[in-house]
Amino acid sequence: MTIALPRRLLAEFTGTALLVTAVVGSGIMATALSPDDIGLQLLENSIATAFALGVLILMFGPVSGAHFNPVVSVADWLLGRRSGTGLTAGDLAGYVAAQVLGGIAGAVLANLMFDLAAVSFAGKDRTGGHLWLGEVVATAGLVLLIFALARSGRATVAPAAVGAYIGAAYWFTSSTSFANPAVTVGRAFTDTFAGIAPTSVPGFVLAQLVGLAVGVGLLAALYPDAGDAADQVVVPADGHESHVTRGTS
């Protein structure tokens, strides 16, 4: 059964918004609870994000596939072209728009919950080759993980696996693993722990697109028929409905 596009776009918008709310809100709370310990702040932020991502995939996966990430949606479209699976071009445009708008809405919601200005553009510069390399690594690994799970028939572990990967990548990448253009744009709208200066956003997004290319290339080498599984990363809604399920921070 094919779920209507408006329902899927609502799920992508809401899921991405709640993901960014979790990222930004937990960062604000972490700085309030542990004001003098940046390492503890990052630990609190990463744990909350990893748990929230897994839960959100379970919540919205049966409706839209819980991409929450333009990189994942583009990979789904690219890999499915040969076999006629995955998102259509029209679906892709809608998904990306919903995700970016959701990312911005999520940052605004987090700001308001903590009694901050609805929009305060971040002043935290995140730029440099080492950070961009971190984004390439984080994004490529995410794409490889998601579609490897699909191809190997282990889609049911996607919520835990993707959440665990993003939580770990907070710590093993120099950039703290944004790995998501929609989340990157959203985080520019909050001048808090998780913020990124608007001038740093293009570099991060470009690095994420490079990571997408690397991830797709690795999939082509390791799983040549990965495109056949573009519709197979599944969190079943019931015995009749299921949809691709993929997510990221």
Percentage of the chain exceeding pLDDT 70: 91
Q: In this structure, is the dihedral angle defined by the CA atoms of residues 239, 241, 246 and 248, taken in order, positive or negative?
A: negative
Number of H helices, E strands in the chain: 8, 0
- Tell me the domains of the chain and their CATH numbers: 5-229 (1.20.1080.10)
Is the model's pTM score more than 0.85? Answer: yes
Q: Which residues contact 32 (CB under 8 A, 6 or more apart)?
A: none
Kindly list the distances between the CA atom of residue 41 and the CA atoms of 29, 45, 46, 217, in Å, as whole numbers in the listed order: 9, 6, 9, 35
Please provide residue 244's backbone torsions phi and psi, each rounded to the nearest 5 degrees: -55, 140
Confidence of residue 38 (pLDDT cuts 50, 70, 90): very high
- d(Cα 20, Cα 211) in Å, to the nearest integer? 21
Q: What is the pLDDT of residue 202?
A: 98
* pLDDT score of 235: 45
